[in-house]
Amino acid sequence: MMINKKWRILTIGDGDLSFSKALLIHQPASLTATVYDSLATMSGKYGDLFYQQLKLENIPILFEFDVCNPTSWMGLEKNSFDLVIFQFPLLPAFRSFSEYKQCADKLNINTLNRRLLRDFLINSFSYFIDPNGQQLCFITSKDVKPYRQWNIENALHLNTDINYLGSMPFDIKMFPGYKIRNVDRDKHVKDTKGVTYVWSRLKRHSIIDKLNPAQFLGDNYCTACRAGPFTTELDSMQHNKSIKHKQMMELERLWLADLDNSGSKVALKNDQK
């Protein structure tokens, strides 16, 4: 992950604040950390060591910060960041099986996770990012199932003026002490195949030179499945007949239907006028 000392950084959904604490080693111009849980809930899950350490460094920390809900952003100065980072995003755990059933009956979990990431991008560029600054959003995720089924490089910014710029490998060694947290367990998980994906309102950004361009594009590939290159027509046909491909096409269909039904793209365009 590329971090520049001149950048004012906002972190979203930091499970135990260990990522924000580790970021300080890169001496950003400023850092504000946010946590979805309350302080009490976070401390109950993971302890409050990193919270105490950040407080000693006078880092502003906002709890119960829901990137999808503007009423939770009180206390944050509007449009004052260069970079907003969401590490290993994932829907919060459901409180009960019936809550899960209620939600999953209406919308696929894949669609809900994509919604979370799309809201993150749209709200970051509309409310958190300084339009006169660097204008960057990073999402780090794993390039394995089910995360790779979110079609991160192509699906999230559809019908917006947000540009996908490319990706870089995520090297956890750059962040000593960072523990990648499960949503609700006092366990940390491996950064297996972590990739940081980058978006900007700017089409041409100097960071592009350091990024890998979007992959699996072109006729010889299946972009949504991140498969290919197919060397023969038969290869490609066999892929299209596979269960994996059919499942992915269904997820794409559900996502496009959800976008059609939602007003989020309108919200972004209006906000810019």
Ligand X SMILES: C[S@@+](CC[C@H](N)C(=O)[O-])C[C@H]1O[C@@H](n2cnc3c(N)ncnc32)[C@H](O)[C@@H]1O
Which parts of this chain interact with ligand X (CB under 6 A)? Answer: 12-15, 19, 36, 66-68, 87-92, 116, 180-183
- Please write down the long-range contacts of 75-81, taking CB distance under 8 Å and 24 or more positions apart: 76/10, 76/32, 76/34, 76/128, 78/127, 78/128, 79/127, 79/128, 79/129, 79/130, 79/131, 80/8, 80/128, 80/130, 81/8, 81/9, 81/10, 81/32, 81/128, 81/129, 81/130, 81/133
Q: Where are the alpha helices (DSSP H) in the chain?
A: 18-23, 39-46, 49-56, 97-106, 109-123, 152-155, 233-241, 243-261, 264-272
Q: Which of 124, 200 has the CB closer to ligand X?
A: 124
Q: Which of 66, 258 has the CB closer to ligand X?
A: 66
Contact 252, 155 (CB under 8 A): yes
Q: Which of 117, 224 has the CB closer to ligand X?
A: 117
Please state the closest distance from residue 154 (CB atom) to ligand X, in A. Answer: 22
Which residue of the chain is nearest ligand X when measured via CB? 13
Please state the closest distance from residue 46 (CB atom) to ligand X, in A. Answer: 9
Q: Which of 189, 266 has the CB closer to ligand X?
A: 189
CB atoms within 10 A of CB 73: 17
Please state the closest distance from residue 42 (CB atom) to ligand X, in A. Answer: 9
Please state the closest distance from residue 8 (CB atom) to ligand X, in A. Answer: 19
Please state the closest distance from residue 181 (CB atom) to ligand X, in A. Answer: 4
Written as six digits, the tokens of 61 are 């920390």
Please state the closest distance from residue 65 (CB atom) to ligand X, in A. Answer: 6
Q: Which of 191, 225 has the CB closer to ligand X?
A: 191
Q: Which of 220, 262 has the CB closer to ligand X?
A: 262
